Amino acid sequence: MADVRPSAARQRLERLGREGRQQPNPGQPRVESLRRWSRYVVPLVRLGFRPALENEGNLPVTGPYLLVANHSGLGNPDIVSLIAAFVDHPGVRFPAAMVHPVSFNSPAGVWMLNLGAIPSTYEAALGALAAGVPVIVFPGGDIDATRPVWQAKCVDFGGRKGFLKIARAARVPIVPMGIRGSHYTAPILFRSGVLSTILIFPRLMGVRRFPVTLLGVLGASGFLALASQLGWVVAPILAFLWLVLPLSQLPFIPWTIRMRVGHPLRHDDLFPDEDDLTLEHAYERVRIAVEDLVNVRDR
């Protein structure tokens, strides 16, 4: 008879889930934070991105699930549009968004925590799922978010399979979601690991692949074009600062952002066993499901 005992890795993930239940209020935005968001931010998001949540009926009404989505346009348009969409659909449960733990040390991190976000750790994710809270994750992270604009229709999870281990350990379905349109709000021309090191600042901030945006090139070119007025020393310095500081990565092109929810992928169908090869198959199945939703209008 085959040994059906949980693997050591599975046991570890289940233990982390028990420990992670201490995370405060996952997926439960604070009333005051939600009120401020609805009053001051949502109107601006609607004006710039006209976010639309499609096929929200595919989201399970009860029980935990892992909502898996692509990340585009450096991530910010995705996040604000998602929050605005869930605010506009009060009948849909707010998922707990997985956010890099380092971000919680910044004002933006505190703001996300007040909206029910959790650190992107096994402990926090498994704890939230064990409490019956849906969790949203962007497996591709910075790899997916910094794709050049001509790769907008592709989905790149960067080979990361942690989200699959979480879903398998928690025994929850994976719901794919494709986000389209956000890649055009902050067009990325190319990205470079070498450039991240040369520019110094990005590497110091932990950015491994520095994205050069259209806004960055336009701004830097503008400063250099004014070198005769600004000075041949000042102009290059301003161009450099504009290129490396976050201002050049802000979304500046209004574009409709649509978030389309696919059919849930059952746990038993994705993970019939605990082999590594099963994870490989599940990885590609989920990635393709998300990519198909991104390109649904092109069929």
Break the chain into its structural domains and give their ranges: 8-186+254-298, 188-249
pLDDT score recorded for residue 74: 87
Q: Does 172 score more than 60 pLDDT?
A: yes
pLDDT score recorded for residue 15: 58
The percentage of the chain sitting over the pLDDT mark of 90, rounded to a whole number, equals 58
pTM for the model stands at 0.87
153 pLDDT band (50/70/90 cuts)? very high
pLDDT score recorded for residue 14: 57
Contact residues for 195 (Cβ-Cβ < 8 A; gap 6+): 202, 210, 212
Torsion of CA 160, 166, 172, 177, to 10 degrees: -30
CA distance 85 to 250: 20
Q: Average model confidence (pLDDT) for the chain?
A: 86
The alpha-helical segments, DSSP class H, found in 102-258 are 107-114, 122-130, 141-145, 162-170, 193-198, 201-204, 214-225, 227-230, 234-244
Contact residues for 249 (Cβ-Cβ < 8 A; gap 6+): 74, 186, 211, 213, 215, 216
pLDDT score recorded for residue 245: 81
Q: Average of pLDDT values for 3-15?
A: 55
Taking the alpha carbons at both ends of the chain, their separation in whole angstroms is 47
Number of other residues whose CB lies within 10 A of the CB of residue 234 = 13
Task: Say which range, 51-65, 102-116, 127-141, 255-269, has the weakest mean pLDDT.
Answer: 102-116
pLDDT score recorded for residue 20: 44
Provide the CATH topology of domain 8-186+254-298: Glycerol-3-phosphate (1)-acyltransferase (3.40.1130)
User: Six-digit token pair at 7?
Assistant: 């693997």
CA distance 176 to 69: 6
Task: Say which range, 42-51, 96-105, 137-146, 284-293, has the weakest mean pLDDT.
Answer: 96-105
